[in-house]
Amino acid sequence: MDICSTITAFLTHVRVERGLSANTVTAYRRDLLKFDDFAKKRKLTLESVSRDNLVEFLASLYRQKLESRTVARHLVTLRNFFRFAQLQELISTDPSLNLESPKIRRSLPGYLRLEEIERLLAQPDDKTSSAAAESSPKSPIDQPIDGRIY
């Protein structure tokens, strides 16, 4: 069975038997068609796809400036696809078996500028009058906020 017809069978399987959402099936289709184009250019058959071919495909995604998270999604799709092909006895070994997932970069949390902090601290406490607020201790809610800011 060629890659394209296996993709069709796999997409039917995940839609009908596994009940995945339409968005997931669409994402799988897009990822697998990209892989199918890659395989056709290299004249690969389903049986001849190797781990090195998959590494090369994932590297080509990075060269297209795709984010780590997107490349990781492609890898998950390929793992599911090749697991399906192996369970259907279309291939004897799963080439995606020992591939490591890309490290997903996490961005640093945002921070408040000094003016924003001052504006937060200047907000009146709705529960007390302004005269009472000056003489009363901080509310339990204000204490952790002040501790994090300073």
Digit-coded pLDDT (tens) for 39-93: 999 999 999 999 999 999 999 999 998 888 899 999 999 999 999 999 999 999 9
In a domain, residue 106? The reply is no
Residue 134 has pLDDT above 90, yes or no: no
Say whether both 69 and 134 belong to one domain. Answer: no
Say whether both 25 and 65 belong to one domain. Answer: yes
Q: What is the dihedral of CA 55, 61, 67, 72, to 10 degrees?
A: -40
| CATH code for the domain in which residue 13 is found | 1.10.150.130
- Any idea which residue has 């999604």 for tokens? 73
**Model's pTM, two decimal places?**
0.68
In a domain, residue 97? The reply is no
Q: Domain residues for 140? A: 114-149
Q: CA end-to-end span of the chain, whole Å?
A: 65
Say whether both 8 and 59 belong to one domain. Answer: yes
**pLDDT at residue number 38:** 95
**pLDDT at residue number 109:** 77
